[in-house]
């Protein structure tokens, strides 16, 4: 029993030893495998590091080359700059030399002038002494006598010089004015926006005409009374006409009718609801349009009421010319001209924007758009220059600044250019006849012709009975009578012509 137990114990010990040896050998192999794997990874890492190092070296070399090239380029720029500076230094030295020479020349001239002045005083004193001795003049009387003689002697020369310089000044002023006008008109090309007196609304079917008229004409009466326009329903298929002189009311009326036709429900209560909504939408629209105009032109903020009236000019016209288009054209032209003349171009532009602002209110308030616009701008503390421009563009005040004068000129340019405005033939013909009749009613007028679309009248007078001064007075007299009795846009030039002809025949 004991020997069996010993045998088992010995067997276990031997088995344990064999297992230990096997495990130890396996662990050794495992360690060798891990060691070989680690060495392989280390070799790969070393190889990758070498590649990265080479790439880094190449990159550094490229950067060095690029930096060196940049330095060379900068050095070239510096060298060119130094050459330019040296050249300017040489030019400056030459200029200083010339300036010194010129200064010396001026000093010599001044010395000569001083000498001449001294000689002149000596000569005058000598002559005064001679006169005093010979004619028994006092010194004061002799001096007055000499000055009078000098004045008489050189009076014609002085007058000639004055006339020459007046002519030169006039020519230069005309050249400058023509240059400024040419710059303004070529640098700004405005579009013409004509306005009609009717809007046409297209209907889906002719049945809608009956709905718009309503029972016993109830709907059309409500529309005309509420909208303030005439609605014309004739035999033209699928069409009605909205007529009225007030563009704003006409635009609202057109929109109201379009919404009612699209909706299909047309009755007095619905008409009032749609009218209130459309009116509110239009108020917001014109306010937003005014803000957009200020933003586009880069103008400082102005009062909300002015902004609203500015947008409302979209729905105002004068002789077929859209008031907002005219306003923007005047603002841009005035800005360009003020800049050319050394004025404040932004202030001139703002004055151009507001010069006709009263037109947005005349249809509601009545009266002169000049007075209304000026009072409106005063109420909201606009610049006195703008107030003056509003008055001056219709001749109620003289322009007091470059900006006001620019607005007046721009207003005439915008209104008078061909195609900008139109008027009914009958009223145009009547105005032309009135101009000619006024001129012909004056004494010693032989003929009178209205030309240039009624913007100029040429008056031919009897040269034997009318002198130059009388011709000037006649032109002013005709101008005053035209201002008092004729309605006209912009201005009218009165050109009085007198000429003397000498005719003979060789036989």
User: Of the residues 165, 187, 209, which one is the last residue of a structural domain?
Assistant: 187
Quote the CA–CA distance of 158 and 164 in Å, as a whole number: 10
Highest-scoring range by mean pLDDT, 91-100, 201-210, 325-334: 325-334
Quote the CA–CA distance of 166 and 168 in Å, as a whole number: 5
> Per residue in 264-278, pLDDT tens?
788 888 888 888 898
pLDDT at 423: 47
Residues 355 and 333 in one domain: yes
Using a cut of 0.95, tell me whether the model's pTM lies above it.
no
CATH number, domain containing residue 457: 3.30.300.20
Q: Which range among 149-163, 172-186, 255-269, 395-409 shows the weakest confidence by mean pLDDT? A: 172-186
Quote the CA–CA distance of 230 and 225 in Å, as a whole number: 9
Percent of the chain whose predicted confidence (pLDDT) is above 90? 0
Quote the CA–CA distance of 333 and 413 in Å, as a whole number: 9
- DSSP annotation of 455 reads T
Residues 476 and 347 in one domain: no
54, β-bridge pairs: none
The per-residue DSSP string of 259-292 comes to HHHHH---SHHHHHHHHHHHHHHHHHHHHHHHHH
Quote the CA–CA distance of 66 and 69 in Å, as a whole number: 5
Give the residue from 464, 463, 453, 458 showing the smallest Cα distance to 489: 453
Domain assignment of residue 183, yes or no: yes
Domain assignment of residue 120, yes or no: no
Does pLDDT of 226 surpass 70? Answer: yes
Cβ neighbourhood burial of 193 (10 Å; 0-12, 13-18, 19+): middle
Quote the CA–CA distance of 112 and 105 in Å, as a whole number: 11
* 26-49 residues labelled b (16+ CB within 10 A) or e (exposed): eeeeeeeeeeeeeeeeeeeeeeee
Confidence class for position 330, pLDDT limits 50, 70, 90: confident
pLDDT at 197: 56
pLDDT at 186: 47
Does pLDDT of 422 surpass 60? Answer: no
Residues 227 and 206 in one domain: yes
> Mean pLDDT, to the nearest integer, of 348-359?
86
Domain assignment of residue 53, yes or no: no
Whether the CA torsion 269, 272, 275, 280 is positive or negative: it is negative
> Per residue in 49-78, pLDDT tens?
888 888 888 888 888 888 888 888 888 888
Token pair listed for 408:
């007046």
CATH number, domain containing residue 352: 3.30.1370.10
pLDDT at 416: 57
CB 198 within 8 A of CB 426: no
Q: Which range among 54-68, 169-183, 221-235, 322-336 shows the weakest confidence by mean pLDDT? A: 169-183
Cβ neighbourhood burial of 476 (10 Å; 0-12, 13-18, 19+): exposed
Residues 198 and 332 in one domain: yes
Total domains in the chain come to 3
CB 274 within 8 A of CB 255: no
Does pLDDT of 45 surpass 70? Answer: yes
Domain assignment of residue 86, yes or no: no
Domain assignment of residue 376, yes or no: yes
Distances (CA, A) of 116 to 9, 119, 122, 200, 362: 152, 5, 10, 86, 70
> Per residue in 169-204, pLDDT tens?
566 655 555 545 445 444 444 444 444 556 777 777
CB 139 within 8 A of CB 145: no
pLDDT at 103: 72
User: Of the residues 400, 422, 444, which one is the last residue of a structural domain?
Assistant: 422
Residues 302 and 342 in one domain: yes
Quote the CA–CA distance of 189 and 240 in Å, as a whole number: 36
210: Cα separation from own chain's centroid? 50
Total Cβ atoms within 10 A of residue 289: 17
Give the residue from 299, 320, 295, 305 showing the smallest Cα distance to 361: 305
Phi/psi at 399 (nearest 5 deg)?
-60, 135
493, β-bridge pairs: 456
Domain assignment of residue 270, yes or no: yes
Residues 378 and 341 in one domain: yes
CB 340 within 8 A of CB 183: yes
Quote the CA–CA distance of 209 and 261 in Å, as a whole number: 9
Q: To the nearest 5 percent, what fractions of the chain are helix, strand and coil?
A: 70, 5, 20
User: Of the residues 362, 391, 422, which one is the last residue of a structural domain?
Assistant: 422
Quote the CA–CA distance of 201 and 344 in Å, as a whole number: 46
Quote the CA–CA distance of 335 and 345 in Å, as a whole number: 4
Domain assignment of residue 9, yes or no: no
pLDDT at 146: 61
Residues 266 and 293 in one domain: yes
Residues 159 and 208 in one domain: no
> Per residue in 23-44, pLDDT tens?
777 777 777 778 778 777 878 8
Say which residue the tokens 């202030």 belong to: 347
Quote the CA–CA distance of 483 and 487 in Å, as a whole number: 8
pLDDT at 149: 63
Q: What is the mean pLDDT of the chain?
A: 76
Residues 312 and 229 in one domain: yes
CB 386 within 8 A of CB 375: no
Q: Which range among 274-283, 318-327, 476-485 shows the weakest confidence by mean pLDDT? A: 318-327
Token pair listed for 71:
């330095």
pLDDT at 418: 47
Q: What's the longest Cα–Cα distance across the chain?
A: 188
Does pLDDT of 498 surpass 70? Answer: yes
> Mean pLDDT, to the nearest integer, of 361-365?
66
Quote the CA–CA distance of 410 and 399 in Å, as a whole number: 13
Does pLDDT of 398 surpass 70? Answer: yes
> Mean pLDDT, to the nearest integer, of 342-348?
85
> Mean pLDDT, to the nearest integer, of 349-368?
78
Domain assignment of residue 34, yes or no: no
Confidence class for position 426, pLDDT limits 50, 70, 90: low
Residues 302 and 160 in one domain: no
Residues 235 and 280 in one domain: yes
321, β-bridge pairs: 194, 318
Token pair listed for 331:
């603002």
Residues 329 and 371 in one domain: yes
Domain region containing 170: 137-187
pLDDT at 169: 58
pLDDT at 279: 86
Does pLDDT of 420 surpass 70? Answer: no
Quote the CA–CA distance of 353 and 107 in Å, as a whole number: 55
């Amino acid at each position: 029993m004991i020997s069996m137990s010993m045998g088992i114990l010995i067997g276990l010990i031997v088995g344990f030893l064999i297992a230990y040896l096997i495990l130890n050998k396996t662990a050794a192999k495992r360690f060798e495998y891990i060691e070989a794997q680690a060495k392989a990874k280390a070799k790969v890492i070393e190889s990758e590091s070498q590649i990265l190092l080479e790439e880094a070296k190449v990159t550094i070399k490229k950067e060095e080359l690029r930096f060196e090239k940049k330095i060379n380029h900068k050095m070239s720029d510096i060298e060119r700059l130094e050459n330019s500076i040296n050249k300017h230094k040489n030019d400056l030295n030459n200029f200083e030399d010339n300036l010194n020479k010129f200064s010396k020349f001026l000093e010599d001239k001044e010395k000569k002038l001083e000498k001449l002045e001294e000689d002149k005083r000596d000569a005058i004193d000598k002559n005064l002494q001679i006169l005093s001795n010979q004619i028994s003049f006092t010194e004061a009387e002799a001096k007055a006598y000499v000055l009078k003689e000098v004045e008489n002697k050189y009076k014609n020369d002085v007058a000639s010089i004055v006339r020459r310089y007046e002519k030169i000044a006039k020519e230069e002023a005309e050249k400058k004015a023509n240059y400024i006008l040419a710059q303004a008109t070529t640098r700004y090309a405005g579009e013409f926006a004509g306005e009609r007196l009717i809007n046409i609304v297209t209907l889906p079917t002719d049945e809608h005409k009956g709905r718009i008229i309503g029972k016993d004409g109830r709907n059309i009466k409500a529309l005309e009374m509420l909208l303030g326009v005439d609605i014309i329903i004739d035999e033209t298929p699928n069409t009605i006409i909205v007529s009225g002189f007030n563009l704003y009311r006409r635009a609202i009326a057109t929109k109201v009718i379009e919404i009612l036709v699209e909706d299909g429900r047309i009755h007095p209560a619905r008409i009032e609801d749609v009218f209130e909504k459309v009116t509110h939408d239009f108020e917001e629209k014109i306010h937003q349009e005014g803000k957009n105009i200020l933003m586009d032109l880069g103008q400082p903020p102005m009062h909300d009421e002015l902004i609203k009236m500015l947008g409302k000019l979209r729905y105002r016209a004068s002789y077929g010319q859209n008031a907002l288009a005219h306003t923007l054209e005047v603002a841009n032209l005035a800005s360009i001209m003020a800049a050319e003349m050394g004025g404040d171009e932004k202030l001139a532009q703002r004055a151009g924007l507001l010069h006709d602002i009263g037109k947005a209110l005349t249809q509601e308030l009545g009266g002169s758009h000049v007075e209304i616009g000026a009072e409106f701008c005063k109420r909201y503390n606009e610049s006195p220059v703008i107030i003056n421009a509003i008055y001056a563009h219709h001749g109620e005040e003289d322009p007091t600044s470059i900006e006001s004068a620019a607005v007046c000129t721009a207003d005439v340019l915008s209104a008078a250019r061909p195609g900008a405005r139109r008027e009914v033939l009958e009223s145009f013909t009547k105005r032309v006849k009135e101009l000619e009749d006024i001129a012909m009613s004056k004494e010693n007028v032989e003929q009178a012709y209205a030309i240039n679309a009624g913007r100029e009248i040429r008056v031919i007078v009897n040269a034997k009975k009318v002198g130059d001064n009388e011709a000037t007075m006649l032109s002013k007299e005709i101008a005053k009578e035209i201002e008092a009795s004729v309605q006209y846009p912009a201005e009218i030039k009165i050109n009085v012509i007198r000429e003397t002809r000498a005719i003979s025949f060789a036989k």
